[in-house]
Amino acid sequence: MVARLLSQRSGPARPRALVVGAGIAGLLAARVLADGFSEVEIVEQDALPTRPGPRPGVPQGHHVHGLTARGAQVMEQFFPGLHDELTEAGAPGGDFGQIVAFRFPTCWSPRATTGIPLQTFSRPLLEARLRERVLGLRNVRVRSGVRVTGLTGGPGRVTGVRTRDTGTVLAADLVVDASGRASRLPGWLTELGLPAVASTVVDAHVGYASRLYAAPDPHAPPWAAAMELVQAPHVRRGFMATRVEDGRLLVTLQGADDDHPPHDPDGFTAFAQSLRTPLAGLLAHLTPLSAVRRYAHCANRRTHYHRLPVWPDGLIALGDSVCAFNPLYGQGMGVAAMEAELLHTMLARLPAGPGHGFTRSYQQRVAALTRRPWIMSTVQDRGWHLGPAADRSTRVTNAVLTTVQRTMSTDPDVFRRFLAAMHMTESSAVLLHPRAVLAVASTALRPGSAPDDARLWWGHPDPRRPD
């Protein structure tokens, strides 16, 4: 769909669009808007780096990021050759089932071909490549080191933004808020006279600690990514690790329910040793390349802009500004790509430009688009909320998840269906296929547990063995 629409310019170009935020969501939005606006300007409060690297406005850039297969597909369509560029930079890739080791609470994922592609890289590398491509477009420019402090216009239409540096007003026909978790859009809307906007927060009180390592052969792990999942109510500790560009390994330890990993090197090592995988043994052979970095702003937050009785023309919001996910589930960048795809589709079908009601319709469709990943990201996190009702719900959810995980560990077809739903390459209905339902039911009726042998992914049986 995107490829077809990219070849169909949407009629006369509109004068000017302005994007607040130069992160992944903002860059994707700018790429889309460049096809339909004469001028696109990105306003970013950070001074943007000239080389790939973390920046203050993206503290999560120090930590492991995952991109869903659907998100990668959309990005490739907007930026042809992106996958090859990342490969040339040293980003590993392959079939998810062959290169990713899942440690579920009671078993390991199977090693099987799934048809779900995956490429692993650092967040700064992806952002740098997207930024280079976007700023190479003739009608896009960036204004960095400038902080937006509010909107101009009124409750019926937004006409631009105010900035802090000189109080300058930047006018625009369309303003896009892509400023992420730190978005101040709810307050800006009330300043315009709109009602307060409600939001839903589901917080598992997850905290991260990450460190970068050199991982040259022969010490490179036998996978491109590995993870040990936390799961309510008892499995509080886990990790995510990915091989990234330049032969490095990025390791993110995670703790739920306020059991956060420490930020000192000795504490980081001790936390890794407490896990049920051989991670600590692997790290003992590697050379650290960075300090330990912490991050704890991991709550799921969904802001219900689509429920406001009035929504101004000339304004849209996307990315984490609208729906921010617990990073554990790797949904954020992929959902931002799908929101950009939606914006391109809607603009391409309006030759006269986004008229009255367009932005309200977009926000409603964004709400529909994010509903499924929101449910997938919060169903487990709700289990950390205490209370009798939550405890009962947690027990049921945990029993179902454990049965599904046991099934996946020995049934590659069910595992593939799970991945297709998680990566949004197929609808969630793929999990309800009779073949999958019967396999899970059979597991539930069969006593015992799935094989739990680390040799499948790590090459030796003892999860605590150092070499």
Domain of 365, CATH number, reads 3.50.50.60
- Is 88 part of any domain? no
Pairwise CA distance, residues 360 & 189, whole Å:
14
Cα 129 to chain centroid, rounded: 17
Whether residue 210 is found in the same domain as residue 342? no
- Is 359 part of any domain? yes
Whether residue 101 is found in the same domain as residue 211? yes
- Is 77 part of any domain? no
With H, G, I as helix, E, B as strand and everything else as coil, classify residue 454.
coil
How many residues would you count in the chain? 467
- Is 322 part of any domain? yes
Q: In the chain, what is the greatest distance between 2 CA atoms, to the nearest angstrom? A: 69
pLDDT at 389: 56
Whole-number average pLDDT of the chain: 89
Q: Which two tokens stand for residue 57?
A: 């406005």
395-402 average pLDDT score: 78
Using the predicted structure, report yes or no on whether residue 64 has a pLDDT greater than 90: yes
What are the pLDDT digits (tens) for 352-368? Answer: 667 789 999 999 999 99
Whether residue 325 is found in the same domain as residue 242? no
Surface-to-core class of residue 261, CB atoms within 10 Å of its CB (0-12 exposed, 13-18 middle, 19+ buried): buried
pLDDT at 455: 74
Whether residue 253 is found in the same domain as residue 154? no
What are the pLDDT digits (tens) for 154-192? Answer: 999 999 999 986 678 999 999 999 999 999 999 999 999
Domain's final residue, options 377, 400, 431: 377
Whether residue 182 is found in the same domain as residue 162? yes
Whether residue 177 is found in the same domain as residue 233? no
Indicate the number of domains in the chain.
Answer: 2
Is the pLDDT higher at 3 or at 320?
320
pLDDT at 327: 83
- Is 73 part of any domain? no
What are the pLDDT digits (tens) for 119-140? Answer: 999 999 999 999 999 999 999 9
- Is 152 part of any domain? yes
Domain's final residue, options 351, 377, 403: 377
Q: What is the DSSP string of 258-313?
A: T-PPPSSHHHHHHHHHTSSSSHHHHHTTSEE-S--EEE----EEEE-GGG-S---B
Query: Which range among 43-57, 73-87, 199-213, 446-460 shows the weakest confidence by mean pLDDT?
Result: 446-460
C-alpha dihedral, 8 to 14 to 18 to 22, nearest 10°: 20
Whether residue 327 is found in the same domain as residue 187? yes
Whether residue 226 is found in the same domain as residue 157? no
- Is 190 part of any domain? yes
pLDDT band at 10 (very low <50, low <70, confident <90, very high): very low
pLDDT at 450: 66
Whether residue 22 is found in the same domain as residue 6? yes
412-435 average pLDDT score: 92
Cα 82 to chain centroid, rounded: 18
Whether residue 264 is found in the same domain as residue 327? no
Domain's final residue, options 357, 377, 397: 377
- Is 75 part of any domain? no
Whether residue 127 is found in the same domain as residue 165? yes
Whether residue 266 is found in the same domain as residue 292? yes
Pairwise CA distance, residues 286 & 247, whole Å:
11
pLDDT at 200: 96
Give the domain range for residue 413: 94-118+205-297+386-467
Contact 282, 166 (CB under 8 A): no
Using the predicted structure, report yes or no on whether residue 219 has a pLDDT greater than 90: no
Pairwise CA distance, residues 148 & 402, whole Å:
46
